[in-house]
Structure 1
Amino acid sequence: MNEAKESKLSAYSTFNDFFTRQLKENIRPIVIGKNKLALPADGMITQLGLILDNQILQAKGHSYSLIALLAGNYILANKFRNGLFVTTYLSPSNYHRVHMPCDGLLTEMIYVPGDLFSVNPLTVINIPNLFARNERLICIFDTPVGNMAQILIGATIVGSINTSWYGCVNNKRKGIIQHWSYPKKEKINSIYIKKGEEMGKFQLGSTVINLFESNQITLNSNLLPGKITQVGELLAESIYNNNYQHNNLENLNKMDLSKFI
């Protein structure tokens, strides 16, 4: 509560208000530099590394399909083939607002209904295709490092997935895929969010998955499965300022998450 913008419990009328509480201003410094990308959430890295053609590593021994994660959208999936992914788990104890890794223009948003399995590390290891089966909100941004997907995964007891521009997306849960397209920058109703700014929030713990195009960024070498994260810390750097370490990223995909449980 020392980090909360409102530190008195009496100020929160409901548990959800308390759970989605804001932090004090500037308590999460955002990494400086146009070529540097920031971590989007407080939580823990569960996996990160290369998207091997159409496969994303979920845990040691099993992967899931990029196309399935993106609800069968082959055109969208092709943008991220052989790119990079980062999966961040937010436990119930974490701050539950999600921020932008870099400046981005929202181009489309897709709501995908699905299951509400728990997304804690033990479940992730034992339930195949978990992230491609759970309810999720796919947000696609045009950024200085190409297309970026920021995907908010629903989970057990997650009452809602909210975005800063739309509000609650899944309050009715109609059971159908819904799609929104957004205009270009500076057009009426365009959505442009700067690095470090809030883009969404969860009620109760969940997961954020980021997807990046191939040969656009290099991930922070200090990020490994089990690494505790905070909003604003270094996620990656744009590729033009770095040497791309392909072999190192392949090794990340071989790490065993079970030792962190």
Structure 2
Amino acid sequence: MTLQYLLPKRCLTQLAGRLADYPAGWLTKLIITLFVRYYKVDMQEAMRPELSAYPTFNAFFVRPLRDDARPLDTDPNALVMPADGVISQLGPIDGERIFQAKGHHYTLEALLAGNERLTEIFRDGAFVTTYLAPRDYHRVHMPCNGILREMIYVPGDLYSVNPLTAAAIPNLFARNERVICVFDTDFGPLAQILVGATIVGSIETVWAGAVTPPREGIIKRWRYPDAESEGAVVLLKGQEMGRFKLGSTVINLFAKDRVVLDERWHTLAATRFGQRLATVNIADGGVPQG
């Protein structure tokens, strides 16, 4: 943990990003081979299983999967897991407080960069924090159909976001760099937040490309029009919405009483994109989508 505070995280991240984008021929293939063996990556799930298909480490890291590798829960009343990974934490939001780890909470206001409007939208709602380890598939998908209304880039630190760090560093996810994506959905407002970390060279979205870098140290905000308007960004359930170039964390926020998280999920549960995450909360006035 001391190293987390002392290491030049920004410089390391910039260097790692440049190296991972460099086509180094046989050396790149060797690094990918060693990575696959060490982390036991299942390349049979990849659209291109042969390691020679990836000219750079980043090309390998954001490799697409076969179309049949992650069956999608097609129930119209269900939201699906947005990513492969492990549940870091999940549950109700206590007013503005979100549980990070034993002994640590952080606030909606801090996570959402002081945005009072968004803080009120998700107050007393629900959250799911999913950690993507290095071995995982690193594209992030939509839990349900959504219309993008806002994207906010928040500069910050680049601490590691693994479970050990989450248990030790206060306000971790509200301190780190992040990209907040807010959608209108049939299940109410949805925030999908892509959190940066040490050696995460880039956070990208399908509509904007690389949001970071550059890292200019200022909050940036983009607003998007209604579905019927020119320039609207409409994504369907299961479609890719973003990706990490090296592992990190996704946080989902849901408004109060709009969804019920599936009972199978608990801390440290392994997730796969496409599995059922939650369903519409019909008991509290939600409308079935079928």
- 1:86 counterpart letter in structure 2: V
Distance 1:133 1:93 in 2: 25
State the partner residue of 1:35.
77
> Is structure 2 residue 60 aligned with structure 1 residue 18?
yes
Q: CA deviation at 1:241?
A: 6.2
1:71-102 deviation per Cα after TM superposition (whole angstroms, max 9, x unaligned): 00011110000000000000011000000001
Q: Taking CA–CA contacts closer than 8 Å with sequence separation of 6 or more, which of the two structures ends up with the larger relative contact order? A: 1
1:133-173 deviation per Cα after TM superposition (whole angstroms, max 9, x unaligned): 00000000000011000000000000000001110001211
- 1:85 counterpart letter in structure 2: F
> Is structure 2 residue 276 aligned with structure 1 residue 234?
yes
Q: CA deviation at 1:186?
A: 2.3
Runs of 4+ in 1 over 3 A off after TM superposition: 241-244
Query: Which of 200, 212, 234 is the equivalent residue of 1:192?
Result: 234
Give the alignment's TM-score, normalised by structure 2: 0.83
Within 5 A, what are the aligned runs for 1:213-232?
Answer: 213-232=255-274
Query: Which of 65, 68, 79 is the equivalent residue of 2:110?
Result: 68
State the partner residue of 2:120.
78
Distance 1:241 1:53 in 2: 21
State the partner residue of 1:2.
44
Other structure's SS at 1:2 match:
helix
Higher normalized helix content (fraction of residues): 2
Within 5 A, what are the aligned runs for 1:1-261?
Answer: 1-240=43-282
Distance 1:70 1:18 in 2: 32
Say what the alpha-carbon RMSD is for the aligned residues.
1.2
Task: Tell me, yes or no, if the aligned pair for 1:82 and 1:214 is still in contact at 8 Å.
Answer: yes
Task: Tell me, yes or no, if the aligned pair for 2:257 and 2:284 is still in contact at 8 Å.
Answer: no
Q: CA deviation at 1:243?
A: 10
- 1:231 counterpart letter in structure 2: F
Task: Tell me, yes or no, if the aligned pair for 2:262 and 2:277 is still in contact at 8 Å.
Answer: yes
Task: Tell me, yes or no, if the aligned pair for 2:258 and 2:284 is still in contact at 8 Å.
Answer: no
Q: CA 1:242–1:78 in 2, change beyond 3 Å: closer, same or farther?
A: closer
Instruction: Using the aligned pairs only, state the percent identity.
Output: 56
Q: CA deviation at 1:60?
A: 1.1
Distance 2:47 2:122 in 1: 37
Q: CA deviation at 1:34?
A: 1.0
Other structure's SS at 1:123 match:
helix
Task: Tell me, yes or no, if the aligned pair for 2:193 and 2:251 is still in contact at 8 Å.
Answer: yes
- 2:269 counterpart letter in structure 1: K
- 1:31 counterpart letter in structure 2: D
Q: CA 1:197–1:154 in 2, change beyond 3 Å: closer, same or farther?
A: same
Distance 2:124 2:213 in 1: 34
* Structure with greater Cα Rg: 2
Task: Tell me, yes or no, if the aligned pair for 1:35 and 1:241 is still in contact at 8 Å.
Answer: no
Distance 1:214 1:208 in 2: 20
- 1:52 counterpart letter in structure 2: D
- 2:150 counterpart letter in structure 1: E
For structure 1, the residue ranges without an aligned partner over 5 or more in a row are 245-261
